[in-house]
Structures are given as structure tokens and as C-alpha cells.
Amino acid sequence: MSSRPTVKPLTFDGQTSWTVFKTRFDVVSSTNGWTDFVKACQLVASFRGSAAEVLQGIPADKLTDLTTIEKALESRFGDSHLTQFYRTELKTEARRKPSRNGCRCGTTNEPGLRRVPLDVRESLSAQYFVDASRDEDMQHSTRLMGAKDLKSSLAYSIKYDAARTVSKTSSSVDLSLLLGKAPHKTEIRGKLDASIECDPRKVHHRIYVADITDPCILGQDFLQKFNFTVDLEKNEIRTGGEEIPLFSASVQHSKSCSVLAKKRTIIPARSECLIQGIPKVPGQFRYAVTNFPNQAPQKGVLVAATLVDLEMEVIPVRVLNLKNKPKILDKGDVIATCEPVVDIVARPQEFSGAQHLQSTLENLQILNEEQRTAVKKLLNEFQDLFSTCDADVGRCNMTQHRINTGNHPPIKQYPRRLPLARKEAEHLVKEMVDNGIIEESSGPWASPIVLVKKKDGSTRFCVDYRKLNEITKKDSYPLPRIDDTLDALNGSQWFTTQDLKSGYWQVEVRPEDREKTAFTTGQGLWQFKVMPFGLCNAPAIFERLVETVLRGLSSEACLVYLDDIIIVGRTFEEHLNNLRKVFQRLQKSNLKLSPKKCRFFQKEVTYLGHVISAEGVKTDPGKIKAVVDWPRPDKIHDLRSFLGLCTYYRRFVKNFSTIARPLHKLTEAKSNFNWTEECEKSFNSLKQALTSPILTYPRTDKDFILDTDASNEGIRAVISQNIGNEERVIAYFSKSLGKPERNYCHT
């Protein structure tokens, strides 16, 4: 019987190092004197867990073949293919604790190196040593030397550092030393004379270049030389009468918050997974970047920097387990910290510097300095709400336009001839393509285009969608009555009007319906990505959208008619607060305003063709001038246009129907166009009547006075109220009677 001792074999479950287990197993095998067959059987018997699962992939006739088993285990759990993993891990560790010349990291006893296989430990130690240096010149020089082990790298770096020091100290030039907060000097790499712009000042100063963590530091010499005053209480820097907001890193970091694991999670060894985290937000910031927690109970894990929205109840966090065994994160464990996203530019873009909003500030002359400052601050806060150019159009995230044509077959119309305007059409198409308004189409639908000249000489691009509208299921969402809208403005003292930038184009068309908007110019087929003008349901869709966006804001705060919004207030403070609420709603829905068409904090504004003030409603002088200057019509079309404009303001004209009756007779189907003295009198009377006094707002705390009158030609009424010892007209009403109606009793 042999006297050789018997050693019990170990077990391997795949959670520990295969290389270490294999080394120990070989020692046990040699001690016990096993043959390859016995060694293979003992090896198979020692497997547990995931290691045993590897055997499922080995053919049955190979389960006693030692070479096959070892290759399978090496492939699954071996370290030979993890060299790059260890290299990356060590590089990350070196960056976290860099050394000036790498000497502090010049040892193979570093925790990260202990797990590295022996056959590559020396080469990785040399790389770790070089990566740990903060001196880039030394890094590059050492790499060029091609050092293969730690000893060679260390020796060369010492020689390099000594030679450079001798070179500098032996020269006759002055040396500048920059002392950091750590007890060692910060080496200066160079210097330059730079121009520094602190709007509106521009100064020149010598700048030293060094290895520091901040992009730039302005020292005490700079602040004293150019008379800069730092006011920490107000968190600003003052110079030359200007106040520059001060970015305070300490203030921002104090707002950091922890992210807790939502549920218990197991991260496999050397694996990465996405974990659900719950932000514990102490500050008032929204967007943040996840980072590794400073005081982390979780060792051996890394957290990927990710931009997250802290308004979300659950945020995703990418976590990497660096260990050779699974990592358990219990519910409530701190897995990351969040730092607020801040603008690295200390001074935000001033509202007064934006050309597209300059006119807005010029229209605030009626405000005092304190009020102007408050408005300027508000507009600065919501700068991104205003369109900066024609291409800067919002994209609403709340709805999409649907074109419901049922089972009707596609409509295809041929393009109309545009021989004199073809270049203009091509230019407009290219402009819309560049701005993301239209795209190429390959569907069966097609409608023709029409180019219309505007008053300013530019061209309006229109598509004739009449055939498409005929087969489209109509949306019955109502538009508000203009007179009801105006009456609701009672009691307001401050007014702001806003207009959405290319309002319809801020609403996307459903992708499956875009081909129905296709049009052709004779040079290709195009379709709209956004809601075009001319669709029958566009007004209803848009009115519903804007009312939904502003839902919950009472009529005492704002009123809406399509893309025209009016914000009101009884006091300046109330108006400012109402405006902020509207801005927040528009910003959240990703809608944008046209700054050229916005009027802020006015006592009198033009809205829906009327002039609105605290006193009441009156006609728009611009529209009335068009009526007053209207030449005598010589055909029915011109007369109908004139009557259409006058009828819009009929509530301002007493006995409107009676005055306009001779003109209406000329528009009847069987009437000949015969301009008489009676028509001339009616024509001039309407022009004169539209310059009538202002109409007041109805008040629910006062009695209404209703005066009515009737004749064989028509009926008339006036509604008014006694306000301030004076009877003020609210509205006029009149109606011409048809032939059957003239037979009715007057009472």
C-alpha cells in the first residue's frame, strides 16, 4: 500500500477565480498521484452551480477527457480573455488617484493588481504606473521607451524628472510657482497674454497654464487690478456698474441628492446592469447627472454618469460590478448621487442682448424701474420660449393631427401650371425641407398648390385641399365666440397679447396620415410632417390643443382664440403671476411664441381686430381706416368685401341693418348692380358710424337696460348699463327683415 497522503479535492462554483482553483487543484492532483482519467473525474465531481452548467455543453464521450474539460472551463471562467477588462479597471483607478510622477502607484500591491493573473501582472503594473502620472509629457516619453515591466518604467521616470528639474533650475529665467491647496506645487506648463471679455468690459491679462481641475481660475491679482468686487451675499461680481451672476460650485454641490435602490437587486460578477433608482431630492433642481456616491457603502461597483430627470418617480442607473462574485444591493441602499446640471457660463444671455426680443423691452416704457426689472427677469427665465428665426418652430408633444377619410380611395390631382412662379415655388419647397416642415412622399395622394402674393410682396405657399376636405370626417370642436371672449375681459387693467410662431406648424401630423397632405409642384411629390394650412379640421384641432394646454387657468388669467392668447390682470403683480403660469404651460407642451407679435404689460392692446383697454372695447383704427378709405364699389365682389368688414363691427353701429339695407339689396341674386343715391348715403353712413364711441364691458353687479325698436324694414336693440352716473352702451343689435318676416306682428 502506498504511503502517499490523500488530499481531499476542492469545489468550484464559478464565483471565485478559475486560475487560483486550477493551481490548487493541480497541487492536490499531484499530491494524490492521479492519472489524467482520475483527474478528469475528480474535476467534474468538484463543480457546483454555474461551473457544473458548463458540463451541459460538453459531449458525453468527452466528460472524462481532461483537456476538453479544462478548455471549456478556461473559456468560461478563465482570466486570459480579461486582460483588457483589468487594463480598463486599472486605468479608471489610476485616474481616481493620480500622482505627480507615478511613484505613489509604483507597486504591485495595489488592490486592483492583486487580482490580475501573474503572466500579465508585470506589463499591466507598468501601464498602471504610467497612467497614474499627471505629467502627460512623462507619460508619452515613458510609453515611447517601451518599458515592459514596472522596474523599467519607474527607473526611467525618475531619470526624466531629475533631468527636467536640472534643465529648469540651471537656466537664468525666473520661475513661477503655483501653490495648490495640497502641500505640493502645481507645475506651470506655459503662459499667454489673453483678452478676457466681461460684458461690456474687455481686459487684457497674463494667463498661466497649469494642471488644474477647473477650466479657469481668476486670481486675486486679476480682481484687484481691474476693480472687481465679489459679493457673496448676493452671489454676484460687480464691475463698472455691471452685475454678473456668480456661479458657486459649493452652492450647487450642496443640492446633491442620493439615489436609493428601489428593490433588492443581484448584479452578477463582472457584469453591468440597469437598476431602478428612487431620487431623494432635497433641492429644487430638475435635471441632474448621476455619479458614484462619495461615501458609498457599495464597494467594488461603478456608476455611469447619466443625465436624468428628477421629476420622474423612478430613474435608471447603470451599475458595473467589478468583483469576481455577485454584488447584492438591498432595497434602500445608496447606489448613486445626483449633482444638478448647471450652465458653466457664469453670466446667462441677457434678454436685452437678444435682437429678436429687443422691441419687447422698448414697449415697457409705462413701467417703473422695479417693474421693468421684474419683467426682464421673467423674460430671461423663459428665453427659450421665443422663436429666434423662421426655422425655430416648436413641436408640441401633446397631440398629433389625424386625417380621417374612412375607406375613401386616395384623391390624386394634377399640378397646376406655374410658368412664371416655378423658381419661387422651388425656393419655398427647399426652405420648408430645410426647416423640417415637409418631406418627400411616395404615396397615392396629391393636391395642387396655389401661390398667393401677400401685402408685403412676399409669397404665401398654399395647397388646395378642397377635394381632401370633402371626404374628411369633420371635427366639431367649436371656436369661441369673439364677442363672448371680449366681454370676459371686464375688470382687467393690464394686458399682454401673444401669438404662437407658425402655430399650425407646431402640431405634427400622424405619420400614417402624412401621405394625405401630399402636394405636387410639377417637380416631385412632397408631404407635410406638420399640420398645414387649409385642412378643414385644423382650426378645431388647434383650438382644442391650446385650450387643453391652458386648461385650469380661469378667464381672469387668460383667454384663447386659436393662436392668439391674451393674458390679463387687475394689478401688476397679478398680471406677472398670470404670465408666468401661461409661460410654464407653453414651455411644458413645447410650444413657441413669435416675439415680433407679442406685446407685454400694456394698458391698451389690439386683439382680434379690436382695441382692448380698461375702459372697454373699440374698433381697430387700422381696420376702420381701411373702411373709411374704401373706394366706391363698382362690382358685387367689392361690395361684398366691404360689407363683410363692416359686419364684423356691427355691434358698434346703432341700426346697422337699417343703414346697410340698400347695399345688401345690391348683393341679392336677382338684383342688377345699380348704384343709387340711397346706396351712396348708406355707404358713407357706415363709414361714419364705425368711428362710434367705445363700448363698455358688461358687469354682473349692475342692471342691464334693453331698448328695442321694430319697423317694417327691420328690428333693432341696444343693451346698456348705468356706470358712474352715465349710461354706457355694451352692444348694438339690428336685423333686416325678409319678406315673410315683414308680415309678423311687431310685438
> CATH 3.10.10.10 occupies which residues in the chain?
357-614
pLDDT at 352: 40
Rounded alpha-carbon distances, angstroms, from residue 514 to 407, 523, 717: 16, 19, 50
Tell me: the pLDDT tens digits for 166-187? 454 444 444 455 555 444 556 6
Residue 710's pLDDT band, with cuts at 50, 70 and 90, is low
CA distance 370 to 332: 48
Q: Which class is 617-743 in CATH?
A: alpha beta
Closest by CA position to 378, among listed 222, 567, 251, 556: 567
pLDDT at 39: 85
**pLDDT surpassing 60 at residue 87:** no
pLDDT at 445: 94
> CATH 2.70.40.10 occupies which residues in the chain?
257-340
**pLDDT surpassing 80 at residue 415:** yes
Share of the chain above pLDDT 90, in %: 10
Q: Are 225 and 209 in contact (CB under 8 A)?
A: no
> CATH 3.30.70.270 occupies which residues in the chain?
617-743
**pLDDT surpassing 90 at residue 135:** no
pLDDT at 274: 85
**pLDDT surpassing 90 at residue 410:** yes
Closest by CA position to 608, among listed 483, 733, 479, 448: 483
pLDDT at 492: 82
Tell me: the pLDDT tens digits for 220-274? 778 777 777 887 766 677 776 676 766 544 444 445 778 888 888 888 888 888 8
The mean-pLDDT minimum among 107-116, 335-344, 492-501 falls in 107-116
Residue 447's pLDDT band, with cuts at 50, 70 and 90, is very high
CA distance 49 to 208: 60
- Residue 127 vs residue 271, higher pLDDT: 271
Fold of 257-340: Deoxyuridine 5'-Triphosphate Nucleotidohydrolase; Chain A (2.70.40)
Average of per-residue pLDDT values in the chain = 75
What lies within 8 Å, CB to CB, of 548 at 6+ separation is 398, 399
Fold of 357-614: HIV Type 1 Reverse Transcriptase; Chain A, domain 1 (3.10.10)
- Residue 188 vs residue 595, higher pLDDT: 595
**In sequence order, what are the beta bridge partners of 327?**
267
Pairing relation of β-strands 714-722 and 727-736?
antiparallel
Helices (H), 568-653: 572-588, 621-628, 636-648
Tell me: the pLDDT tens digits for 636-695? 888 888 888 788 777 777 777 778 888 888 887 666 778 888 888 888 888 777 765 556
pLDDT at 641: 84
Residue 353's pLDDT band, with cuts at 50, 70 and 90, is very low
- C-alpha angle with apex 703: 702 to 706, nearest 5 degrees? 135
The mean-pLDDT minimum among 4-13, 117-126, 409-418, 674-683 falls in 117-126
CA distance 466 to 710: 42
pLDDT at 474: 92
**pLDDT surpassing 70 at residue 119:** no
